[in-house]
Amino acid sequence: MEYSDKILRDVLTRAKRVAVVGVSTNPVRASYFVARYLGLRGFDVVPVNPAYVGQALFGRKVVASLSDVDGGVDMVDIFRRSEAVPEIVEEALSVFPDLQTIWMQIGVEHAEAAQTAEAEGVTVIQNRCPKIEYQRLFGELRKGGFATGVISSKL
């Protein structure tokens, strides 16, 4: 799926509170470091994973499901297999009347669930990572992929 930089920038600018479904407590897992990164960039991250209920992550208690989130969220970031997406989208739409965005991580796509959310006026991003897009759109990636942009032959 292709998304304009304007759409991605708008989503990342307007979202303030993000529920990360499938977050891990393992710091080497993508769901952990993406959620942590978003928190460090000022997003209010709500960790969601039934395997870690009650544990603290990023200064917040992990909840089992979106229905257990206290208050609303602007965006639901999904770190689950594609086949789990319809149930997550259905729950998100039922518990967050002001939901703005469903974001499915790299490798996660579900056309029917996306259509359901879009029919409710929710923006859907599939097969993308908000951390990568944030870094790219807001100038946090260094040219050349290295800190200096130069590879030394004296390594």
Q: How far apart are CA 145 and CA 101, in angstroms?
A: 29
Query: Are 23 and 36 a contacting pair, CB within 8 Å?
Result: no
- What's the mean pLDDT in 46-66? 97
Q: What is the pLDDT of residue 154?
A: 37
* pLDDT tens per residue across span 66-117: 999 999 999 999 999 999 999 999 999 999 999 999 999 999 999 999 999 9
Q: What is the pLDDT of residue 66?
A: 98
Q: How far apart are CA 103 and CA 12, in angstroms?
A: 10
The SS3 of residue 49 is: coil
pLDDT at 151 exceeding the cut of 60: no
Neighbouring CB atoms inside 10 A of 7's CB total 13
Confidence band for 141, pLDDT divided at 50, 70 and 90 = low
Q: How far apart are CA 43 and CA 13, in angstroms?
A: 10
Domain ranges of the chain: 5-145
Question: Which residues make Cβ contacts (< 8 Å) with residue 2, sequence separation at least 6?
Answer: none
- What's the mean pLDDT in 43-64? 97
pTM of the model: 0.89
Assigned architecture for domain 5-145? 3-Layer(aba) Sandwich (3.40)
3-state secondary structure 84-95: HHHHHHHHHHHH
Q: What is the pLDDT of residue 152?
A: 34
* pLDDT tens per residue across span 119-135: 999 999 999 999 999 99
pLDDT at 42 exceeding the cut of 70: yes
Q: What is the pLDDT of residue 139?
A: 82
Neighbouring CB atoms inside 10 A of 119's CB total 9
Confidence band for 1, pLDDT divided at 50, 70 and 90 = confident
